[in-house]
Amino acid sequence: MVPVSFGTFRLIIVGLAGFAQFYLFWRIRQAVRSAPGSGRRAALGVAFAGILIGVLFALNWHIMYTPIPWIDPPTLVQVVFFYAPAVWSFGSIFSALLLLIAQIIGGVARTAVRIYRRLAGPAKVAPANPGRRMFLKAGMGGLAAAPFLFSGYGAAYAGRNHVVEELALPFGCRLRVAQLTDIHAGIFMTRDRMRRYVDQVIALKPELFVLTGDYISNSTVFFPDFVEEMARVRAPYGTFATMGNHEHWYGQIGYYRHIFEANGIHLLQNEHRVIQTEGGALAVAGIDDLRWGQPDLEAALHGIDPAVPTLLLSHRPEIFPDAAGHRIPLTLAGHYHGGQVKLSLPGGEFSLAHLRTPYPEGLYRIGSSHLYVSRGIGTTFTPVRLNAPPEVTLFHLSAR
């Protein structure tokens, strides 16, 4: 499968979202006009529906593309002004698609019935069944509402309940390593939520703690709180970080490095550190974001003794073939959130991330090299996660 570019991906999302608003408004307009007693009230109802759809859609896209430096807003504000527009915009896409599919199937069925009646000749037509019509209307209403229910569930519940993924992998040095990635600190990832994830990491007692990019959503105002929370993890061999695309979109690298280092976290930008552990020496290397940064794997690995196993940190996983070519035993990455919204189909799993990369989530292997792509803990585009729960990852690395 040929990966879809970021521009094409964004165009698909914007196109689907825009289509959904117009289509749902048209369906509401048709339903109101066909109801008994249509008149002035119907016109007011259609106007209200159009305004509400427009306001919810505009609010959501404003939130996504405009930095909102509001730290820990009140719960009511979050629900009304942040989550409600997000749930509407996400749910409307699937609601519109389901209704459109049902409309097409219904049109084909009605056409088939008309053709059959013409071929069969004159026949007595059964009177209309009001109960059947009510049943069909109720079914269509349920079909239209289901995506909004799933969207609300994904925002209010599924996105807040993480899992701990534990993996045992050969590395060349015994070590317990915890990874967090794609935190996206912002209005949908408050300090309180970050604290819960950090408490989980602390409970796992890692010897090394690593962060693999996208620490903020769309404003640097959330970064100091994020760093202070991550700094609560006191891993014996330190905490290391590398940069993601969101850090390049908002702010300067010098700003991030200064705050990281002031809190005891080492930022690795095309560089490495050699660590002496009880199980032997290892190198932790980090490279810049593959798309928006200036990645240089050769610089990151320069000077490392070939006998020393290397742990490579990269926000995006596409570095893996090059890493395997350098015989790096383990590369850790994130970026794709496991698709964030994922379907489990008979032929396998599918999400938009599967259209963009051969490494959407999980463990991969080339020869003796492994790549692990974490789903991360934050969200982007929408605060909804379905079938792709946030994760805290713990690696049990062995000498063999």
> What six digits make up the tokens of 245?
């695309």
Whether residues 190 and 330 share a domain: the answer is yes
Rounded-to-integer distance, Cα 211 and Cα 263, Å:
14
Residue ending a domain, among 156, 182, 216, is: 156
Range of the domain at 330: 163-398
Q: What total number of domains does the chain contain?
A: 2
The answer to whether residues 260 and 227 touch, using CB atoms and an 8 Å cutoff, is: yes
Same domain, 77 and 170: no
Residues 99 and 123 in one domain: yes
Angstrom distance (rounded) from CA 221 to CA 373: 27
Determine the Cα–Cα distance for residues 215 and 326; give it in Å rounded to an integer.
28
What per-residue string of b and e applies to 89-119 under the rule 16 or more CB within 10 Å gives b?
A: bbbbbbbbeebeeeeeeeeeeeeeeeeeeee
Q: Per DSSP, what are the bridge partners of residue 177?
A: 208, 395
Residuewise pLDDT in 10s, the chain (400 residues): 556 666 677 778 888 888 999 999 988 888 777 766 656 777 888 888 899 999 999 998 888 888 888 888 888 998 899 999 999 999 999 899 888 998 899 889 888 888 887 887 665 555 656 665 565 666 677 778 888 888 998 988 777 789 999 999 999 999 999 999 999 999 999 999 999 999 999 999 999 999 999 999 989 999 999 999 999 999 999 999 999 999 999 989 999 999 999 999 999 999 999 999 998 999 999 999 999 999 999 999 999 999 999 999 999 999 999 999 999 999 999 999 999 999 888 888 888 898 889 999 999 999 999 999 999 999 988 899 999 999 999 999 999 7
* Residue of 236, 235, 194, 240 lying closest to 217 (CA atoms): 194
Does residue 137 sit in the same domain as residue 188?
Answer: no
In a domain, 227, yes or no: yes
Q: In whole angstroms, what is the distance from residue 334 CA to residue 220 CA?
A: 20
Residue 1 lies in a domain: no
pLDDT at 2: 55
Shared domain check, 246 and 218: yes
Residue 43 lies in a domain: yes
pLDDT digits (tens, 9 = 90+) for 99-158: 899 889 988 988 888 888 788 766 555 565 666 556 566 667 777 888 888 899 898 877
- State how far Cα 182 lies from the chain centre: 9
207 found inside a domain: yes
Would you call 179 exposed, middle or buried from its count of C-beta atoms within 10 A (0-12, 13-18, 19+)? buried
CA–CA separation, 193 and 226 (whole Å): 10
Pairing label, strands 310-313, 330-333:
parallel
- Claim to verify: residue 151 and residue 296 sit in the same structural domain: no
Residue that finishes a domain, picked among 139, 156, 173:
156
Three-state secondary structure readout of the chain = CCCCCHHHHHHHHHHHHHHHHHHHHHHHHHHHHHCCCCCHHHHHHHHHHHHHHHHHHHHHHHHHHCCCCCCCCCHHHHHHHHHHHHHHHHHHHHHHHHHHHHHHHHHHHHHHHHHHHHHHCCCCCCCCCHHHHHHHHHHHHHHHHHHHHHHHHHHHCHHHCCEEEEEEEECCCCEEEEEECCCCEECCECHHHHHHHHHHHHHHCCCEEEEECCCECCCHHHHHHHHHHHCCCCCCCCEEEECCHHHHHCCCHHHHHHHHHHCCEEECCCEEEEEEECCEEEEEEECCCCCCCCCCHHHHHCCCCCCCCEEEECCCHHHHHHHHHCCCCEEEECCCHHHCECEEECCEEECHHHHHCCCCCEEEEECCEEEEECCCCCCCCCCCCECCCCEEEEEEEECC
Domain presence at residue 320? yes
Residue 224 lies in a domain: yes
**Beta-carbon-side half-sphere exposure of residue 209 (alpha carbons within 13 Å):** 25
Residue 323 lies in a domain: yes
Q: Do 40 and 83 sit in the same domain of this protein? A: yes
Specify whether 206 is located in the same domain as 269.
yes
* Residue 144, amino acid: A
Q: Looking at the structure, do residues 255 and 381 belong to the same domain, yes or no?
A: yes
CATH number of domain containing 235? 3.60.21.10
Q: pLDDT at position 110, please? A: 83
Q: How many CB atoms lie within 10 A of CB 221?
A: 17
Co-location of 205 and 346 in the same domain: yes
Alpha-carbon distances, residue 252 vs 231, 247, 249, 383 (angstroms): 21, 7, 9, 26
- Of 123, 156, 189, which residue is a domain's last? 156
Residue among 222, 225, 237, 242 at smallest CA distance from 290: 242
Indicate if 150 and 172 belong to the same structural domain.
no
Q: Quickly count: other Cβ atoms within 10 Å of residue 293's Cβ.
A: 21
Dihedral sign for Cα atoms in the order 290, 365, 164, 205 = negative
> Do β-strands 280-286 and 271-277 pair in parallel, antiparallel, or remain unpaired?
antiparallel
- 173 and 88: one domain? no
> Cα dihedral sign for 28, 30, 35, 39?
positive
